[in-house]
Structure formats: C-alpha cells, structure tokens
Chain A
Amino acid sequence: MTPSRLAFAAILGKDLRAELRTLQSLPAMALFAVTTFVIFRFGLDRTSLSGSLAAGVLWATLLFAAILGINRLFVAEREEGGFDAIRLAPIDRTALFAAKASALLVYLIVLELIVVPVFAVFFLDSATALAPLALVLLLADIGFAATGTLISSMAVNSRARDLLTPLVLLPLVVPLMIAATGATEPLLALGGPGYHRFDTWLAVLGLYDLIFLLVGYAVFDFLVED
C-alpha cells in the first residue's frame, strides 16, 4: 500500500494545481458572494448591519457560495475517469476524502480572505470583530469541508447533482449554521464585539467538525466503491 500521506499529498496537489490553472471554482464562488453582498446592501437599503442580521447575511452568503465549490469538487474525477484511476491504486480511500476535504477547505479560506473584507467594507462600522471571527470561520469551514465532501462524492454520480447537493447538504448543515451565526452574532453586535456564549458555540462547531470528519472516515470507502 502507498502511504496515505503520499496519496493525500498527490491528490491535494493535483486538485490545487488544476484549480490554479483553470480557475473553475474560486472565481465563481467569490463573484457570487460579492454580488450577493451588493444585492443585500441595496435590498435591505442599509449601509450598516449588526448582530443577528449581519451574521445571517454573512453566513447565508458563504453557505451558498460554498455550495458552488462543493458541486464541482468531484467533477474531474467523474468526467475524466479520476475515480477509476484512484481506485486502481493501492491507497487507502480515506486519503481521497482527506485530500478533497482539504482542497475544499483551502477554497473556502481563500474565498473568505477575499469576500469577508468586502463584507466588512459594505456593512461593518469597524473591523475589530474580524480577528475573533476568523476562528469561527475556520471551524465552520472544516465542517463545510467534511460534510460537503461526503455529499459531493455521493451526488456526483447523479445526473441531478446540481439539485441533489443542496437538497441533501442544506439540512445537514443546519446545526453548523446555527452555531456559526450564534458565535458570529455577538462579535458583530452594535458597539463592538461581545463574547456572550461564544465559547459554547465554538464547542458546538468543534463537535460538529469532529462528528462529520469521523463519519467521513468511516463511510467514504463505501461511497466510492461500486
């Protein structure tokens, strides 16, 4: 068997190289998010948001932008025979799960590096909440990456994958969204960041991440087999 770390590095490197070369996912995700912020800005007719409304706008936008990337995560494997090539290799299939989840995590982090500053410019009075917000974003991204990779690997074999991914994914990420908005709301409160129940929501996010990483580790082998 090829050591899992080598297989992981090979698949992750291949995915990032292909994305850098083709820019098929990230620009679309970023453009979608920025456009949505513009729509919210004019739709709500507000130049400043705070508390739950700010958290809701931020996380709803990030969630739907993430779905664009999740939809495309396994397309090359499906359309160009990558699944077969990987299944023929003497590797642990969980290396594929780990590599795909890591690639998605990288996409989400890069997306947020681009669009969260735009969100701050559009809607926030100060940038003081951004530092603690980074921790919330990271924990939520890990959850998105784990759940999104699982769902994407299932949906990619369906002709209706564009429909299937959001239909299956959205109910699964409801707890993640509740925890992420719960942690973000006090950070974006009017008058500066607060930390009411911040630790609790971070713990919920961490628990969600752990559960779906373990589920992915346990079931991914079965998902990619015939």
Chain B
Amino acid sequence: MSDAAVAVAGLRRDFGERTALDGVGFELAAGESLVVLGPNGAGKTTLLRILATLLRPGSGEVHVLGACLPGEAWKARGRIGFLGHEPLLYRDLSGRENLRFQAQLHGLRGERAEARIAALLAAVGMERRAEQRVAELSAGMRQRIAVCRCVLHEPELLLLDEPDSNLDAEGRELARELIGPGEGRTRVLVTHDPERALPDADQVLRLGAGGRVAVA
C-alpha cells in the first residue's frame, strides 16, 4: 500500500444521516491518472477533499504520498495541487498578488517566486490581466489563475475537480499543458465529461448513489 502515490481502502464518510462515501477503495501509482465519474451527489468532491486533507475520512484507510490521513496530513500538505469548485482566490487582490500570497505560503520567495508566477501567467495567457483584481475578472479568467495557483508549488499530486469548468476552448488547451497528463504527473480527476477525460485515464472509478463504488 505504501508504494502507491494514493491508496484508499474501505473509505467511508458520513455527513450526519447522509452517507457521502461508502467502501471506496483504489490504488494509484505515481505518474498515473485516475478519472472519477458519477452522478451529482455521488461523493466525488468529498473524495477529492479527503485526499486533499481538507476533510477527515470517517473510517477506512487513506494514504496520500506516503502520509496516512488524517494523522499525518501535515506530511502531504504542500505536495498536493488542489483545484476545486471554488478558485480559492481573494477577490480584492489581483491575480498576481494572489499567486504571490500562495507562493509565500509554500515557502517560495523572491526572484524564484516571481519568475515562476510570470511563467505560469504567460502559460495561461493571463500576463496582461494579472494586475486586475480577481473580482473584476470573468469566471474563465479566474479559473486560469486558479490553475496557476494549483501548480505554483510544483505539486507531486494533482486533485482536479471539474478543472475545465468556465474555461473556453483556448483556456482548456492552455490549462492542459499545466494540469493535463504527462511528465509523470499523478492525477485524480473528477469530471462529468468522460469523452475528454477517459483517453488519458489509467484507471476509472465510478461512484454511484450514496458514494458506493459502482464499477471499478
């Protein structure tokens, strides 16, 4: 179990009376992509948030990058890139200021941080809008900045929840360079668009109602 980048066994998570995940298990080797499919309310986002150390597992075993969650969550933090439904950007700061803030939290400073931020902004076509407050940007532009935030600290594991949402065709292509498969990236991707995601998938996890594994 410890050799896998992500190893989950018998994972269950309840929210009060409602069961979000029930008996979920899989193993993902480093450099592989797992695509998680399922209808609304199947627990896909809950699974991703548990892997990101943002939610505690109710029961079962969860190992992420060698850290046993939730007790060793601190070992995995900083090595995970998380792109959720919210861009996790402060509306009153500019895109560049947001990325600078994130860089500081991850211990990146000075010229190294500035160079990395500039390169990422250029990669998603946002260098000209980088000084604008996030509140003034469109949803798609925010998502492009969020993609930069997700990979800013060069994470070992990408956890992506509908990463293409709000992105236009150009944005999707640019984002794919940063968060798509390749370069040995380990990815867990939640999507409602299997046609686009499945060709890149090494494994597929289908969640059904109540967070149970429908087809593994």
Contact = CB atoms under 8 A, between A and B. Distances in A.
Interface of A: 1-3, 6-7, 9-11, 13-14, 17-18, 21-22, 76, 80-82, 84-91, 225-226
Given A6-B104, A10-B105, A89 B77 contact: yes
Interface residues of B, number: 29
Interface of B: 52-56, 74, 77-80, 82, 84, 86-93, 97, 101-102, 104-107, 109, 149
B88 A85 contact: yes
A13 B105 CA distance: 12
Contacts, number: 83
B90 A88 contact: no
A22 B133 CA distance: 11
Of B92, B102, B149, the most chain A CB neighbours within 10 A belong to B92
| B interface secondary structure, majority | loop
A85 B149 contact: yes
Contacts of A13: 101
A84 B88 contact: yes
A82 B105 contact: no
| A interface secondary structure, majority | helix
B101 A10 contact: yes
Contacts of A22: 92
Nearest to A89: B105
A13 B80 CA distance: 24
26 contacts: A1-B74, A2-B104, A3-B107, A6-B109, A10-B101, A10-B104, A10-B105, A14-B93, A14-B97, A17-B97, A21-B93, A80-B86, A81-B84, A81-B86, A81-B87, A81-B89, A82-B88, A84-B82, A84-B88, A85-B88, A87-B53, A88-B52, A89-B77, A89-B102, A90-B74, A91-B105
